[in-house]
Amino acid sequence: MTTLLAFAFVLGVLVFVHELGHFMMARWHGVRVLTFSLGFGPKLLSMRRGDTEYCVAAIPLGGYVKMAGENPEDPRSGSDDEFLSKSKWQRFQILIMGPVMNLLLAVVLLWVVLLQGAQVAAFQDEPVVIGVVQPGSPAEQAGLRPGDRVMSVAGSETATWDQFSLAIGTRPDRDTELVVMREGLDVRMTVRPNATTRYEVGDIGVLPDVYPSIGTVNPGDPADRAGLKAGDVLVSVAGERMVFAQHVSAAISKSAGQPIEIRVRRDGEEQAFTVTPELRGESGIIGVSLANATRTFQPGPVEALGLSVERNIEFAGLILQTVWGLVVGETSPRQLMGPVGIAQISGESAQLGWVALFALMATISLNLGLLNLLPIPVLDGGHILIIGLEAVARRDFSMQVKEKLFLGGFALLMVLMVTVIYNDLTRIAWIEQFMPWRN
């Protein structure tokens, strides 16, 4: 139920804002709006105010604003309040305002999220210095080493781990050039990120050059008896380099009853301790709380707004890069997500709280705004393209030409819809069992 409610809320808000953009600009230019609908198909709720019918329809996968004289085949009186009676510049403004509203909503939502502040991993804004190369990973196969600093990914500068994660995450199963600084020299190498998680996020198997630390030590427990103290930085456990707290927990958990060496850094010096984890339940424990290196992120309103704009521009570039990759065959269609996938991730985000849900909404709103601007007939961008071409040609295209363009655009959207729904279904384990070609 949470998933359904979260999906209805997310999609409802994004569609409403999009159609509101068209509606407001149409009214601004004096165009008579006949229908403002959330959803398609049979009408569930309906009310009329003035010339406009406001309704909620049964299929919640979009919405529309129907304007008087919007299409050449519509009955037209030639009056000034019809869409096609307006200038091309006015029609352009009406068409583009829907995507613009989604882009503005993305900025506002992310601004609200950033204003809340958070405890974030300290390494995210630091240079991409590799601390660990996981055995058997694409990074190891490509020749990356601990201490290497990644300067760029696929020609784009990666000044921070945050930028690096985004760049690699969007390139699963694609040969990707890295520029790495090693001993003061630039080294070029090619790596092919693995597709991980059900959303096929790219990963090359490198971890940052950070260490977890001990928060508290329980009196009388193995760690206390061995001499470990709060504030100790954990370097290794049983000879294994530690990066995050979960790595420490996993290493200790499997070593119940066995003496292990734990190396820590204390007061700038490295020391070794022998600790024997005790079996409690099904896991070994030594009686400490663990912490990753974090920093408090609490921007003011102006800084948060600037960061929101900056992040949305950065994400927009990645989205457009992905779209171009689909066009030229560099990006796998498996990365695309449809309504079922959006519903799943909406439910998961809602369970984490409203901040996570708003962050997701910002991302989807940005995608919706940009994708609607693509020059595909049927989409807003397609209509804008036709208006632009007509302006250049200084004549309106015939109805036959427009019908062919829209038919081609509709066919492309249907192929896209089938693809994303198929992707969504393959991410559901019990459904994938009925797809023997994927086993």
- The catalytic residues are 19
157 to 148, 149, 202, 222: CA distances (angstroms): 15, 12, 17, 46
Question: Phi/psi of residue 121, each to 5°?
Answer: -60, 130
CA–CA distance from 381 to each of 22, 360, 400 (Å)? 13, 24, 20
Longest dimension (CA), the chain: 91
User: Under a CB-based contact definition with an 8 Å cutoff, are residues 69 and 82 in contact?
Assistant: yes
**CB-hemisphere CA count at 13 Å for 139?**
23
Q: How far apart are CA 30 and CA 156, in angstroms?
A: 46
CA–CA distance, 149 with 186 (Å, rounded to integer): 9
- Rounded to a whole number of angstroms, the CA Rg of the chain reads 27
DSSP-derived 3-state class of residue 172: coil
